[in-house]
């Protein structure tokens, strides 16, 4: 008998395999899907807080210790999930779908619809155990690991372009510490990380602009590309998580003395820099980020 109880939680598991054009999506707590499977979210452990990695070193010939660096470790989770199906063949189909949706050597997106829905990138960390109450239902215990312990908003925030030329500036959250270029756009303002831990943005800079850079006003940290000239329509794409950048799709390293920054909780301002005195610079900057929680 097909269960109509969807449980107290809703969410989803989404995985895009390289071998097919459409993602595998398991929608949880929303009733039977197109295969007649009702996915029920029963519980999740490890959503509250990740472990930490680090140590306190004993002082030599003295009481106490030294507080060395300590950081959040990858997040370990166990998701309890039930598939309620109309018959045994459909139950076996549910088993096959879930095994495919949570990969071994890639990441899928686990979304948990709290009052503020959040998502996290996970893969399996152990076996997916199965238990059977009857021939048409199966309960899964999915042991997962999230290499990045942050929980991210499901909505990407995009902030209006900050530019040279016409004074059309916007706000964003970050900072840089370097000798700054000679021509700078005013800092953007109003970009807010509504979470409780830093997040790493993606930034797009569109030319024309010479020797571009990105400065976080809060601390003065800056990432620069003194050897780059962006002509009209050229685009520099910067991934602050990977600490990598590409010009028109080609990998382009930042200057060796760059200081990579993150967007801290709260409001942040980011400045588009130019290391050139060329008056025709009309570069545009657009910043995207997700709010982040721990």
At 163-175, the pLDDT tens digits run 654 333 333 333 3
pLDDT of residue 180: 35
pLDDT of residue 281: 77
Q: How far is CA 212 from CA 10, 169, 277, in A?
A: 44, 16, 12
What mean pLDDT, rounded, does the chain reach?
88
Q: Start-end ranges of CATH 2.40.30.200 in the chain?
A: 11-52+72-150
Tokens of 112: 């948990």
- Provide DSSP, 217-270: BTT--EEE-TT-EEPTT-EEEEETTTTEEEETTEE-PPPTT-----B-SEEE-E
Q: How far is CA 291 from CA 13, 21, 52, 118, in A?
A: 20, 28, 21, 9
- Provide DSSP, 176-212: --SPPPSEEPPPP--EEE-SSS-B--EEEEESSEESE
Terminal Cα-to-Cα distance of the chain (whole angstroms):
40
User: How far apart are alpha carbons 214 and 289 in whole angstroms?
Assistant: 15
SS3 91: helix
Question: What predicted TM-score, i.e. pTM, was given to this entire model?
Answer: 0.85
Question: What is the CATH code of the structural domain delimited by 11-52+72-150?
Answer: 2.40.30.200
Q: Start-end ranges of CATH 2.60.120.860 in the chain?
A: 157-293
pLDDT of residue 164: 56
**Residue from 63, 67, 95 nearest 81 by CA:** 95
- Low-confidence stretches of the chain (pLDDT < 70) are 1-8, 161-190, 276-280
- DSSP classification of residue 154: S
Residues 113-143 as b/e (b if ≥16 CB within 10 A, e otherwise) read beeeebbbebbbbeebeeeeeeebbbbbbbb
**pLDDT for 182-193, tens place per residue?**
455 555 555 789
pLDDT of residue 168: 33
- What is 157-293's CATH topology? Jelly Rolls (2.60.120)
């Amino acid at each position: 008998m097909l269960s109509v109880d969807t449980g107290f939680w809703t969410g989803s598991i989404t995985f895009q395999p390289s071998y097919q054009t459409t993602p595998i999506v398991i929608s949880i707590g929303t009733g039977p899907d197109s295969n007649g499977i009702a996915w029920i979210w029963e519980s999740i452990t490890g959503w509250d807080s990740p472990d930490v990695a680090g140590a306190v070193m004993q002082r030599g010939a003295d009481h106490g210790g030294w507080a060395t660096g300590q950081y959040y470790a990858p997040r370990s989770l166990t998701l309890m999930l039930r598939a309620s199906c109309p018959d045994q063949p459909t139950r076996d189909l549910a088993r096959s779908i879930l095994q495919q949706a949570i990969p071994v050597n890639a990441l899928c997106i686990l979304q948990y619809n709290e009052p503020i829905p959040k998502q996290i990138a996970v893969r399996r960390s152990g076996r997916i155990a199965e238990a059977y109450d009857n021939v048409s239902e199966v309960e899964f215990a999915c042991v997962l690991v999230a290499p990045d312990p942050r929980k991210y908003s499901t909505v990407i925030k995009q902030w209006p372009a900050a530019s040279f030329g016409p004074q059309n500036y916007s706000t964003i959250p970050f900072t840089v510490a370097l000798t700054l270029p000679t021509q700078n756009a005013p800092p953007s303002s109003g970009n807010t990380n509504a979470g409780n831990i830093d997040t790493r943005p993606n930034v797009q800079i569109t030319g024309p602009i010479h020797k571009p850079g990105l400065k976080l006003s809060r601390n003065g940290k800056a990432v620069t590309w003194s050897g780059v000239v962006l002509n009209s329509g050229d685009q520099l794409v910067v991934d602050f998580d990977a600490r990598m950048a590409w010009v028109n799709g080609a990998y382009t390293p930042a200057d060796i003395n760059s200081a990579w920054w993150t967007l801290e909780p709260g409001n942040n301002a980011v400045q588009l820099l130019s290391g050139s005195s060329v008056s025709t610079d009309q570069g545009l900057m657009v910043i995207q980020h997700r709010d982040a929680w721990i």
